[in-house]
Chain A
Amino acid sequence: MKVTTDLIFKILVFVSCVSCNEVNTLNAYVEKDYIKWDSLIEINQLEEVVDTINCIKLQTTENSLMGHVVKLEVDDKYLFIKDSNQKLFVFGIDGSFIRNIGKIGNGPDELLGLFDFYLDKVNKCVNVIDIFRASIFQYTYNGKLINTIKLSNELLRGCGKFFYISDDCVLATKDNSKSSVYNYSVLNVKEKKISHLLRYMITGDLTMSFNQQNKVCHFNDSLYLTSFFSDTIHAYQKDKLAAEAKWIFKGPNKNSNIEYFKNRQYELGIEAERTARENGVSTGITNLHMVNNYIYFTHSCENSIYACFYNKNKGNGYRLKIENENRLLENIITTDNECFICCIPIYELDNINLKTNSKLENILSDSQDDDNPILVCFNVK
């Protein structure tokens, strides 16, 4: 009798444990945070919340002379920068020029165009996308070509920016045109396979330069992404090859959804933006970046563009209008997990409200207008 009771008791405990785990797992699976507009304190100047600022001047030499900075990635003590001239530069963390990577030319090991790049921080290699050769050129951080992966034009069609997922996979943003369907593709470069993520709510011609906006960010080893017109930040799940909603921004306007735009046709994407504004519907969040404590994004509402810093741990943060005093925020290009990194051309520094910074003053006094840009790194309190 005692044995039977014991057994029943054990079974009951086991069943209850199993169901507890299921509930917990299920909760963790669907758990989302809401970034509420009212939880973000409105401030006027960035200086009110900036903790520390550091400035790095990128060395100007004949080989490091760059145009407009398009992409910047940081690993170890290196800064990898692609510019509008389709050149890739490696700088030290102190701003000293180290080398160029990849060379444009006719030769078999040369690039026809340096379309984009992404770092594989695990294997310490730089992957350069040459859309004209439909190939990925893999270089060591020292600039030595180690491998070329031939892809097809079909696989790369409509791809914009590329982001590392794993050895085999890379995430690519997809152009928004009338024929577009998804915001992102995941390319398996070894198996030459493609899958898609996050369906476009709106498509049309001349959309708001989707590829020029930063909708994807790396934080630690994870990839976070938003989609066009969306207020949701997704976490990319490597094992499921899927994007799961992680944070939802609840701004002053209603969240847009696919139902809202379902039966409407837009000749131009920008018409969709106007319709949304007129109807009090959100046009989504963009310029996504993440550091240890904060998520940064911008949101357009009430005829202004707001920069939002949301503290992931505390569930609150700050919001401020991007105006003359806060133009530094327009230049955030990446993060290094610790701080936000802005890239500012020397000739624009006059318009940035940072003149009280002594290090910057020293850099400015020693610079010419056409020197390479300055990186400004800052933390938020």
Chain B
Amino acid sequence: MKITSLTLTILFLIGCSGHNSKSLHATPEVVTWKELCVSDTIQKEITISNRSNRNLKIDYIQKPCDCIITKFQHDEINAKDSLKLHLTFIPQYVGYTEQNIFVHFKNTKEKVHLLIKGKVSDDDCL
């Protein structure tokens, strides 16, 4: 009897740890590059998936600077559906850059965290 209860507890814990509570996923989460000149731009399409059973509405996109432009097809992701977020990065400085973007939703506290990082070279790289 004791063994059964121990087994159940272990199974419960395994079940809990295996369960991922995140309903929002972004692919890719990190945008990087091999070489980027300061006069160049990076464009990337990010897929945001909603794995929950309810529709989620985008509230706003938090960007650290005007160096990032975001456009999305709709402002709502249906349950079990996804949308494309079009992201443009215009470098402002030569050197290492690392910028965080958060997508906030109206009906959930969960946020999507995207990261842009890499080295920006001066115009000699052209």
Whole-angstrom distance between the Cβ of B51 and the nearest chain A Cβ: 16
Tell me if A166 counts as interface (CB < 8 A to partner B). no
The answer to whether A43 has its CB under 8 Å from any CB of chain B is no
Residues of A within 8 A of B95 (CB): 66-68, 345, 370
Give chain A nearest CB distance to B14 CB in angstroms.
24
- Residue of A84, A86, A347 with most chain B CB atoms under a 10 A cut-off: A84
Question: With an 8 A cutoff between CB atoms, is B75 at the interface?
Answer: no
**Any chain A CB within 8 A of the CB of B111?**
yes
CA distance A135 to B41 in the complex (A): 33
Interface set, chain A 88-117, CB cutoff 8 A to B: 104-106, 112-113
Closest to B111 in A: A106
Task: Confirm or deny: A85 has a beta carbon within 8 angstroms of a beta carbon on chain B.
Answer: yes
Query: In the docked arrangement, what's the CA distance between A86 and B64, Å?
Result: 8
Contact A113 B64 (CB under 8 A): yes
Chain B's closest residue to A345 (CB) is B95
Residue A174 lies at the interface, judged by CB distance under 8 Å to chain B? no
Q: How far, in whole Å, are A84 and B100 apart by their CA atoms in the complex?
A: 11
In angstroms, how far is the closest chain A Cβ from the Cβ of B6? 32
CB neighbours (8 Å) of A85 from chain B are: 96-99
A345-361 vs B, Cβ < 8 Å mask (1 yes, 0 no): 10100000000000000
**Chain B residues positioned under 8 Å from A86 (CB to CB):** 64, 98-100
B113 interface residue, CB < 8 Å from A?
yes
> A106 CA to B23 CA in the complex, in Å?
14
Structural contact, B96 and A66, CB atoms closer than 8 A: yes
Q: Which of A66, A106, A132, A370 contacts B113 (CB 8 A)?
A: A106
Q: Answer yes or no: B84 CB below 8 A from chain A CBs.
A: no
Q: Note all chain B residues with C-beta closer than 8 A to A112.
A: 62, 102, 111
Interface size class of chain A, counting residues whose CB lies under 8 Å from the partner chain: 10 to 19
Does any Cβ of B come within 8 Å of A65's Cβ?
A: yes
Cα–Cα, bound, A188→B97 (Å): 34
List of A residues within 8 angstroms of B110 by Cβ = 106
Interface residues contributed by chain B, number (CB under 8 Å): 19
User: Is the C-beta of A87 less than 8 angstroms from some C-beta in chain B?
Assistant: yes
Within 8 A of A (CB), among B76-104: 92-100, 102
Hey, which chain B residues are within 8 Å of A106, CB to CB?
102, 110-111, 113
The chain A residue sitting closest to B63, CB to CB, is: A113
Collect the chain A residues with CB atoms within 8 Å of residue B113's CB. 104-106
The reply to whether the CB of B119 lies closer than 8 angstroms to some CB of chain A is yes
- Chain A positions 243 through 267: 1 when the CB is less than 8 Å from some CB of chain B, otherwise 0: 0000000000000000000000000
Q: Is the CB of B96 within 8 A of A132?
A: no
Separation in Å of the B67 CB from the closest CB of chain A?
A: 9
In the complex the two chains form, what is the Cα distance from A370 to B121 in whole Å? 8
* Set A65, A105, A347: member contacting B122, Cβ < 8 A: A347
The residue from A84, A104, A105, A345 contacting B97, defined by CB atoms under 8 A apart = A84
Chain A minimum-CB-distance residue to B102: A112
Chain A neighbourhood of B122, CB < 8 A: 347
Residues in B whose Cβ lies below 8 Å from that of A105: 113
Q: Which chain B residues have a beta carbon within 8 Å of chain A's beta carbons?
A: 62, 64-65, 92-100, 102, 110-111, 113, 119, 121-122
Q: List 15 A-B contacts (CB under 8 A).
A: A65-B96, A66-B95, A67-B93, A67-B95, A68-B93, A84-B92, A84-B97, A86-B99, A105-B113, A106-B110, A112-B111, A113-B100, A347-B122, A370-B96, A370-B119
